[in-house]
Amino acid sequence: MNCSEIKPQIYNYLGFKGVAESPDTDELIVSCLGKLEKTAQFNSLYRAFENAPEFLKKPPYESFLAGTAGVILSVTTLGAGVDRLINRLYRTDMARAVVFDACASAYLEAKSDEFERTLGDNLTYRFCPGYGGSSVEDLKYIFEILKPEKIGVTLNESLFMLPAKTMAGVIGIGKKVKKTCEGCFMLPHCKYREEGKRCYASEKTL
């Protein structure tokens, strides 16, 4: 993966407010991404359906999936090694831990995008339970159907997916839809928007 592609997103996560980048942090990012490529074990699991599973037959999924020809449920993860390394860095080098954590998040996003491109061109973005007023409870259905423990991913009682660098999503087939802030549950107090930015890579921030 090209480091410069995800760097803006990493700076975004680190709270750089559109001011000059720092050479120190730049150096740290490059070294963290190098380590990340060695440590991360990207893995994915998906299943496609012509007819959407029952739990998607309610708002806001219904409107999100309107006009699609099918739906994909997916789980992507960087594996437990990344969590372990972040935990260790918190003990040995906090600044590196913070940067590494942000790099891992951006890396997971990018790897997941890359993986989705292998599934086809005509797809919506990943709609993750929790977006747009949907409930994170829906993760339970995704876990029941996909059984992501096969790729080492678990869901705890508080509906956290572990390893932490994991994403679960609902993707519509046969319709191109890009991500927007509309309906995001963080919208009322989004720290990115306060600064005129977005949490995802959009033309605005790049």
Q: How far is the CB of 115 from other proteins (least distance, A)?
A: 12
Task: Check residue 141 for interaction with other proteins (CB under 8 A).
Answer: no
Task: Check residue 72 for interaction with other proteins (CB under 8 A).
Answer: yes
Neighbouring CB atoms inside 10 A of 78's CB total 24
**Contact status, residue 168 vs residue 131, Cβ threshold 8 Å:** no
Minimum CB distance to other proteins smaller for 180 or for 185: 185
CA distance 105 to 164: 9
Task: Check residue 122 for interaction with other proteins (CB under 8 A).
Answer: no
CA distance 5 to 184: 25
Task: Check residue 202 for interaction with other proteins (CB under 8 A).
Answer: no
The residue from 185, 187, 202, 206 that contacts other proteins (CB under 8 A) is: 185
CA distance 169 to 160: 14
Q: How far is the CB of 54 from other proteins (least distance, A)?
A: 10
Minimum CB distance to other proteins smaller for 50 or for 182: 50
The residue from 59, 67, 149, 206 that contacts other proteins (CB under 8 A) is: 149
Alpha carbon separation from 8 to 14, 19, 91, 199 (Å, rounded): 10, 12, 27, 11
Minimum CB distance to other proteins smaller for 59 or for 174: 174
Torsion, Cα of 90, 96, 99, 101 (10° steps): -30
CA distance 97 to 14: 11
* Stretch 6-45: interaction string toward other proteins, x if CB under 8 A: --------xxxx-x--x-xx--x------------x-x--
Task: Check residue 46 for interaction with other proteins (CB under 8 A).
Answer: yes
Q: By three-state DSSP, how is residue 137 classified?
A: helix
CA distance 152 to 163: 8
Q: How many CA atoms lie within 13 A of 9 on its CB side?
A: 22
Task: Check residue 91 for interaction with other proteins (CB under 8 A).
Answer: yes
Q: Which residues bind other proteins (CB under 8 A)?
A: 14-17, 19, 22, 24-25, 28, 41, 43, 46-50, 69-70, 72, 77, 79-81, 83-84, 86-88, 90-92, 94-95, 97-99, 101, 119-120, 136, 143, 149-160, 162-164, 173-174, 185-186, 189, 191
